[in-house]
Amino acid sequence: MKKILDQIAEKLADAFAEAGYGEAPAKVTLSNRPDLCDYQCNGALAAAKQYKKAPMVIAEEVIAALGDCGMFSEVSAAKPGFINMRLSGPYLSGELNEMAADPAAGIEPDPESVIMIDFGGANIAKPLHVGHLRSAIIGESLKRIFRAKGQKVIGDAHLGDWGLQMGLIIAEMSERQPELPYFDPAFEGPYPEEAPFTIGELEEIYPTANAKSKEDEAFREKAKQATFELQQGRAGYRALWNHIKEVSLADLKKNYGRLKVEFDLWKAESDAQPYIPDMVRELKDSGHAYISEGALVVDVKEETDQKEIPPCMILKSDNATLYSTTDLATLVERRKLFDPDRIIYVVDKRQGMHFEQVFRCAKKTGIVRPETQLDFLGFGTMNGKDGKPFKTRDGGVLRLEVLLNDVSEAVSERMHAQGDRGLSDEEIGDTARMIALAAIKYGDLSNQATKDYIFDIDRFTSFEGNTGPYILYTIVRIGSILKKYYAADDGSCSLTSAELFAGKVPEGYVSEGILPAVGESERDLQLKLAEYPLFVEAAVQDLAPHKICQYVYELSDTFNSFYHETRILAEEDAARKSSYIALITLTGKVLSECIGLLGFEAPERM
Ligand code: ARG
């Protein structure tokens, strides 16, 4: 459905044309002075320059040309030449009824394009750290937001499986269990099917090997050599590497699953390696790459640069490839396999320079099409209350299960403290996990991604304020009012909140839909609902899930004000009561859509 803002803009464009200002842009925005108007147009100011006439005069003429179109209850000119509009009750409620009937709740699709989102970025065999958690949360939300806008989105986990960490594990294993066939160059296979370690052991092997390599030069050399031989294709090392990947991947999938993070592709750095030789040859042949101090590089600095952008390194002097080589080859691979129109990287902002170099190099050398849009969404650090990068209770690196468990525990403590709601312990456990996920994700996404933020379990799990649990609480509240309204004689309701929000009703109920608002908080709620598509657009425009958080919080607050001021179920006028029900049903639907875009769900009760 066409959103209100566009309908108004069209109406006004017609009125400008009719008044003789056809060339003037009728840009309409949401009012930032809700006390004065709902929507505002500054077209008369632009027309004034063009037609050399006082803006107030133009505004008045346009308003006269607008006449009574039924969309507004009030249109007025305000100095220095704004056109202020209030929506008419019937028009607004009519739009909301359309939104209620629309499965997309008023979100219009954009022309389809193929967008790849490179997020997650976990490293095989290394523990997930907070950066990977943020990337997963933000990337998952972006993926959902773009899909809601009709885009074909391919989410790629782009696992790190090609670095020194692999050589470290191989070296360490070769010292612990030298008798294994993986280390015998004469062994001709087949290698064992079963991995020689569990995920628990693997998680211990890497840090041990890593620490050892920092103290023991010989060991470090051994690990480097093993990395090199692995990359060259030594069969035993490849077999061991495959075990590491398998064991690690199963664990990663479990962890991402708990976070409700899904990837369409589980590609890894190693998948791009076959593209490197041709790519390097072409870079050399085209003259883009040249040898500088022994290394193969491509210049990427530009005249307008404010700061020094070093050349993009393709091969080190010993011919070894680098992180940038892999990312460039991944672009070659992605173009070949998916030909995306846009790729968005959700990675720690400290990698900004790396991506700047890679993007420039890819554009300059034609690795990507000139029109392919490459975006780096660099995020800040998740800190603990001490201002240092967050650590879980056990003090070590972040372990996702531990984090989820800590937060779930904090939530169930709160639930127990709030007294018995007739929930069984099992229900409390399940619900607490859902709320915990909302607390973690909302706590992250409500901040502008580029900023650092403090992970504060107490604040994030609070049922009040700008938190995930507060939003869930609001949704549960709406669900429970609806279930009371639709309750059978025995007090039970056969439909779930989600079904009710989707517009299902028990047999025998007819509704006239949402009526024009009579109360002020009712009107505020109606206006806020109508803003939903604008926030989704802003989130797409700025790659900013926090705009959805801002909206979902405002909508929750607006609903709760309405709820506190209105006796919904005790309303005596049946038509009005049924209109209230339709209004809060739409509120429940939009809130649920929003948290869906953020990547979490509401429980039935809490
Ligand atoms: N594995 C990397 C890391 O842990 C992140 C990967 C980001 N994506 C990319 N295409 N480089 O830092």
Give the whole-angstrom CA distance, residue 37 versus residue 87: 8
Task: Ligand 1 pocket test: pick from 245, 347, 367, 398 the residue with the most ligand atoms within 8 Å of its Cβ.
Answer: 347
Mean pLDDT of the region 577-592? 98
Mean pLDDT of the region 429-443? 96
pLDDT of residue 40: 96
Centre of ligand 1 to C-alpha 62, Å, is 54
On the question of pLDDT at 443 being above 80, the answer is yes
On the question of pLDDT at 22 being above 90, the answer is no
Using pLDDT thresholds of 50, 70 and 90, give the confidence band for residue 387. confident
The atom of ligand 1 lying closest to the CA of 323 is 11
Sheet of 152-156, strand order: 152-156, 114-118, 342-348, 373-379
Residue 45: other Cβ atoms inside 10 A:
18
pLDDT of residue 551: 98
- DSSP three-state, residue 14: helix
Give the whole-angstrom CA distance, residue 132 versus residue 379: 11
Tell me the residue type at 328.
L
Q: Among 54, 78, 76, which residue's Cα sits nearest to residue 64? A: 76
Centre of ligand 1 to C-alpha 246, Å, is 19
Pocket around ligand 1 at a 6 A CB cut-off: 118, 121, 123, 158, 160, 327, 345, 347
Pinpoint the residues of the chain covered by CATH 3.30.1360.70.
Answer: 4-87
Q: Among 85, 23, 86, 66, which residue's Cα sits nearest to residue 520? A: 86
Give the whole-angstrom CA distance, residue 236 versus residue 170: 10
Cβ(445)–Cβ(598) below 8 Å: yes
The atom of ligand 1 lying closest to the CA of 159 is 1
Task: Ligand 1 pocket test: pick from 158, 322, 368 the residue with the most ligand atoms within 8 Å of its Cβ.
Answer: 158
Closest C-alpha residue for ligand 1 atom 6: 121
Mean pLDDT of the region 478-502? 95
Residue range 224-280, pLDDT digits in tens: 999 999 988 999 999 999 999 999 999 999 999 999 999 999 999 999 999 999 999
Query: What is the topology classification, in CATH, of domain 4-87?
Result: Gyrase A; domain 2 (3.30.1360)
Residue range 132-179, pLDDT digits in tens: 899 999 999 999 999 999 999 999 999 999 989 999 999 999 999 999
Using pLDDT thresholds of 50, 70 and 90, give the confidence band for residue 26. confident
The atom of ligand 1 lying closest to the CA of 354 is 11
pLDDT of residue 131: 79
Give the whole-angstrom CA distance, residue 173 versus residue 175: 5
The atom of ligand 1 lying closest to the CA of 129 is 4
Residue range 29-60, pLDDT digits in tens: 999 888 999 999 999 999 999 899 999 999 99
Residue 265: left (phi > 0), alpha (psi -120 to 50), or beta? beta
pLDDT of residue 431: 94
Q: Give the mean pLDDT of the chain.
A: 94
Closest C-alpha residue for ligand 1 atom 11: 327
Q: Among 530, 587, 585, 532, which residue's Cα sits nearest to residue 85? A: 530
Residue range 299-336, pLDDT digits in tens: 999 999 999 999 999 999 988 899 999 999 999 999 99
Residue range 344-354, pLDDT digits in tens: 999 999 999 99
- Per-residue burial over 464-479, b if 16 or more Cβ lie within 10 Å, else e, is eebbbbbbbbbbbbbb
Give the whole-angstrom CA distance, residue 243 versus residue 199: 10
pLDDT of residue 280: 98
Cβ(360)–Cβ(298) below 8 Å: no
- DSSP three-state, residue 379: strand
Radius of gyration of the chain (CA): 29
Centre of ligand 1 to C-alpha 121, Å, is 5
pLDDT of residue 159: 96
pLDDT of residue 203: 87
The atom of ligand 1 lying closest to the CA of 126 is 4
Q: List CB contacts of 180: < 8 A, sequence separation 6 or more.
A: 173, 174, 196, 240
Mean pLDDT of the region 562-583? 97
Centre of ligand 1 to C-alpha 160, Å, is 7
Using pLDDT thresholds of 50, 70 and 90, give the confidence band for residue 393. low
Q: Is the dihedral of CA 466, 469, 475, 478 positive or negative?
A: negative
Give the whole-angstrom CA distance, residue 560 versus residue 172: 59
Q: Between 399 and 61, whose confidence is greater?
A: 61
pLDDT of residue 426: 86
Give the whole-angstrom CA distance, residue 603 versus residue 486: 19
Cβ(586)–Cβ(529) below 8 Å: yes
Centre of ligand 1 to C-alpha 235, Å, is 26
The atom of ligand 1 lying closest to the CA of 348 is 12
pLDDT of residue 420: 66
Cβ(269)–Cβ(160) below 8 Å: yes
Centre of ligand 1 to C-alpha 158, Å, is 7
Mean pLDDT of the region 106-121? 97
Using pLDDT thresholds of 50, 70 and 90, give the confidence band for residue 18. very high
On the question of pLDDT at 395 being above 60, the answer is no
Task: Ligand 1 pocket test: pick from 345, 351, 397 the residue with the most ligand atoms within 8 Å of its Cβ.
Answer: 351
Centre of ligand 1 to C-alpha 225, Å, is 23
Centre of ligand 1 to C-alpha 137, Å, is 15
Mean pLDDT of the region 505-512? 90
Centre of ligand 1 to C-alpha 347, Å, is 7
